[in-house]
Structure 1
Amino acid sequence: MLDCPVCHTQKPVSRWQVCTECGYHHRLKARERIALLTDEGSFEEFSPQLDYHNPIELTGYDEKLLKSRETANLEEAVVTGNCTIGGEKAILAVMSFDFMGGSIGSVAGEMITRAMLLGVTTKTPVIITTASGGARMQEGIFSLMQMAKTASAAAQLDQAKVPLFIVLTHPTTGGVTASFAMLGDVILAEPGALIGFAGPRVIEGTIQERLPEGFQTAEFQLEKGFVDAIVPRDKLAETLIFLIKTHRRDYGKKE
């Protein structure tokens, strides 16, 4: 049982970590999402094999990285690997907000880029689920560079006619929203997810005006055309299976 921040009741949650009273989607850890989305035992994680460094030698950053690895039980803010979903092959990248707010640094950006480029060379659809506060400011300009790098990889997928499916989860903000998260062939979102660049409170403080009700929610973004569909978590796998099958003619026939 979890305390629901929307209906303010303590109700049982489904296996999808969704409130059974109001349908609020609780935040998932990366490996929880992978287990719910992929066929059992099909996920084969890619080893990053990357050197971690402190590019601008920021005091305390090394310690914060170590603490995040311990608390999130992850090497980085994203987990990537091969998988099948309903028997359909895919390359999956799942971001974790538990690791430094899902921020993108040089290593996480490289992992996402490599996942997309592998999709290009193997003609395999790429699925990315986002949960991020944006660029990792502790790495300075190196973190902002990941926006251009991931956007370039997404463009190469497009040129190769390999589909990129994006699943926006709560929250998806900052440099992630301003780069690869909005470059998918199909962009899905979980109900109620916060999706934007700067958050509502920051914007209100800047413009000194009240924002519309539900501003930057998945539902708001769907209405404005930034999201193609809102998909409840328990329907996500079947939706992705449908999308992979319908796009197959563009990137090759099933073996």
Structure 2
Amino acid sequence: MKKWLFAAIALLAVLLVGCGTKDTEKNSDAQAENKEKVLVMGTAADYAPFEYIDAKVSDEIIGFDIDLAKAVMKKLGYQVQVKDMEFSSLIPALQANKVDFVLAGMTPNEERDKVVDFSSSYYDTKEYILTKKGSGIEKDSDLAGKVLGSQTASIQEKLAKTLAKKYKGVKLVSRDRIPELVQEVKLGRIDAIITEDIVADNYLKDNKDLTYYVIEEQEDQSKSAAFPEGSKLTEKFDRAMEELEKEGKVEELKNKWFKVK
């Protein structure tokens, strides 16, 4: 009788262990699947209204690019984890697989296109010269002999170099963050900076001592998402964007973030 009882207990223990193992495997599979569905997005959160932190409200990164990324990736079945870094670090981070994609108001150019893949354009902008009122800088030729600032590794930095070649005595300075550049202009350490229309508009709204003009000769500056070379996500991103455009979601987000009040 005792032998039978011990045998029954042993068999039950084996069955319970087996069930536990299967449950553990199922839980592990579920966790792995969920982990695979989280994509890390690289951005530089100093570029309102595309991506920025409103310190008066919280330390959360918000903006047009953030909402757009979440809307696109939701359609594709992914969650988004946003990672803030310097703008100049975004492409290297993508190449090193530290992020899955980049959305940061980035403009494709020949140099970047050699090492990453870009989505279709999701927004087009114009470049402004932002300066203090009374600076006397009202057109490109007025930059001669002035200190001109731009963000490090940005398309604006490249444009600044072009202007420096064209006009004598232009001194170039670069900073990692846009707010630093704006502060330098307000303090008179930099005469003018190059930035995009919608970004400049937000600073002009809050700083009545600043003014601007549109740079005379420039190409439209398109904004695109960046992906590792050969990534299948690039095509999927474009398809999801087309769907969001048809649904009116993209226009809804533009109205939310790009209207300066």
Instruction: Identify the TM-score tier after normalising by the shorter chain.
Output: under 0.3
TM-score, structure 1 normalization = 0.23
Higher relative contact order (CA 8 A, sep 6+): 2
Quick check: which one's helix share is greater?
Answer: 2
